[in-house]
Structure 1
């Protein structure tokens, strides 16, 4: 990564409630922050992430809220 600009790399797929579809990705930015990026359908309920994230990473992206949201809810 280039240290002069903010860049991110996907570290996990967010799998939808159907347990098959990738509905988004978790990115780690070169600043150390984590962020969720949704697919073109926008925020959707998440069933799991692959690979599984550490507990601290899940807290940072509020994974529990992602598993409870309604489609189109946005959080």
Structure 2
């Protein structure tokens, strides 16, 4: 059946983020810090993980979060 991501909060925060939601996949898979800066005026970095991206399981969300947060 699948699920549809609820994007309202993400869309609302997108313009205030430094990376505008972008993820450097090469750095993500290598376990390196995310360095994408598309909006220098932004106040925070914004990422979507798990079901917020597409219909996935909890393990995928946990792996996404671990990869993104490991370098913090």
TM over 0.5: no
Higher helix share: 2
Q: TM-score band (shorter)?
A: 0.3 to 0.5
Higher strand share: 1
RCO comparison, higher one (Cα < 8 Å, 6+)? 2
TM-score w.r.t. the length of structure 1 is 0.35
TM-score w.r.t. the length of structure 2 is 0.36
